[in-house]
Structures are given as structure tokens and as C-alpha cells.
Amino acid sequence: MADTFTDKDTYQDTFNPHGYLCTYYDLKDGILVVDGFLSFALKKLHEAFTKHGVKGNVLLDIGHGPTIYQDLSACEVFKEIIGADYTDRNREYYEKSLRNEPGTFDWTDVIKTVCEMEGKGKTVEEKREKLRNTVSKTIKCDVTKSKPTEPLVLPQVDCIMTLGCLECACKDLDTYRNVLKNISTLLKQGGHLIITEILNCTSYQLGGKRFSCLSLSEKFMKDAIIKTGYTIVDLEVIPREYNKEQYDLCNHDSSLFVLARKN
């Protein structure tokens, strides 16, 4: 367990985007691959944008970190995706990944999986190009502020997506509730909120350093989202099999996906 809450300045100063991807998303032994989270997230996102009909003009991807997989299905049904993250390093890495620059993490197999899921015969390069053309920019964002994107003022968007971010940004459950309210101000009425979180996790390790994580339960998440003014459209939890070595790095016991509509 992390001894203290890992604040945003620590993320800004010490978080290593490439190291994080190699530890958590490597297709052979990455923690979020081995535990089934990545496959689960790709499937649920595909369903959100097809079966559940989530679409619109603008999607805001809050706390994207260095990953791009979450935008692969979204770019087919939104005219524009705006990325948003607190750390400069993550925003820079995200932009480099969109351009598929040498030395960045290789998402080829993940992109291929999404293309096969969609069944439109799109190649990996065509999908990369579609994603590059749909993401217009990535902006500085602090979800703990009542106006998370200030000084920038954004028109309210059609969808907010935040994957594996808020549990790291919040020191306690009250902060988490407030953060949900903060990001909800950026969303249109009738718009959709997509959240994934790892549950019952207290910390995770990266590069020999331990980062804090807010322990969340399915019940808390359901209650907090409904009380913020949403109707839950889809909620699913998948358990994680115990593996001591991997639990020592990150001790969550399950993963949650939520799709909700703003009342």
C-alpha cells in the first residue's frame, strides 16, 4: 500500500508513460492484459458505440494517460475527440502515439483486434489514420477543479470517457463524488458518461515507486453515478484471478465498466 496519497505534482514530475505501458499493457505479461481488463474494455467500448448507439459530435477523453486504445472505437462515431490529461508527459506521449512515432508503444495488435471486432475490413493503417484525423488536440485538465479545463472554456460535449483515471486522482470517496460533479459540468444533458475503474485497489507500482489508488466498490460507483444525475445504461464487473507476483504490483480484485446517460 502507498504510504501517502500520490498528488498531481508527483505524477507531473515522476510518472513514466512508456514504462507504464510496458508494465501494464504488454501483450505477453502486462498486468491489465493478463487480468483480462484490456479485452474487457475493448469489448465494452465496442458495444457502447454500436449496440448502445453512443455517438455525436464531440467526445472528451479525460485522463487518457499514454494510451490510445480507448479511442479506437469512438473515432468511428464521433466527428471530433478531444484528449485531456493533467501531466504534460502523458499528453506528449499520447500525441506521439497517435502519429505512431518510432520508440512509442506498439498498439498494432490491439488496433487489429478492434478492426476485426468492427468487421468493416479496415486495415491497421486505415484505423490509425481515422484516429489521427478524429483527435483534434489534447488539453490540460484537472478533474479536482470545479472547472476542470480552465482557463480554457469548452462547449459542453456529447460524451465524456474516463478510463482508469479517477481512482488515481482522488484521495477519498468525497473527492471522487465531487470529481464526478466537476466533469459532469462538461457534458450535455442527455449525453453519455463512460467510466472504467479497477476495484478494491489501494496502490500500484511503476518503476520501483508505489502510487496510491482509491479503493472503490461496485456499490459505491453505482450510487455515486446515480446521485450525480445519471441513469445507468450498462454496468459490468469482471473478477481477477489471484496471482501473487501481479498482485504485488497492483492489488485490484476486479474491473468495472459503466455506461450512463446524463438526466
Write out pLDDT tens, residues 42-58. Answer: 999 999 999 999 999 99
CA atoms within 13 A on the CB side of 40: 22
Total domain count, the chain:
1
Instruction: Provide the domain limits for residue 93.
Output: 8-262
For residue 33, being part of any structural domain is answered with yes
Q: Residue 148, preceding bond cis, omega within 30 degrees? A: no
For residue 88, being part of any structural domain is answered with yes
Return the pLDDT at 2.
53
Write out pLDDT tens, residues 93-133. Answer: 999 999 999 999 999 999 999 999 999 999 999 999 999 99
Return the pLDDT at 1.
46
Q: What percent of the chain has pLDDT over 90?
A: 95
Write out pLDDT tens, residues 197-246. Answer: 999 999 999 998 999 999 999 999 999 999 999 999 999 999 998 888 88
For residue 3, being part of any structural domain is answered with no
Residues annotated within a binding site? 20, 25, 69, 85, 90, 142-143
Residues annotated within a binding site for S-adenosyl-L-methionine? 20, 25, 69, 85, 90, 142-143
3-state secondary structure of 97: helix
- Give the neighbor-by-neighbor strand order of the sheet with 78-85: 135-140, 78-85, 56-62, 157-163, 187-199, 254-262, 230-239
Confidence of residue 3 (pLDDT cuts 50, 70, 90): low
| Cα–Cα dist 118/244, whole Å | 36
Write out pLDDT tens, residues 44-100. Answer: 999 999 999 999 999 999 999 999 999 999 999 999 999 999 999 999 999 999 999
For residue 252, being part of any structural domain is answered with yes
Give the distance from CA 226 to its chain's centroid: 20
For residue 234, being part of any structural domain is answered with yes
On whether the CB atoms of residues 69 and 107 are closer than 8 A, the answer is yes
What pTM value is reported for the model? 0.95
Return the pLDDT at 103.
96
The enclosing domain of 205 has a CATH number of 3.40.50.150
| Cα–Cα dist 15/72, whole Å | 24
For residue 1, being part of any structural domain is answered with no
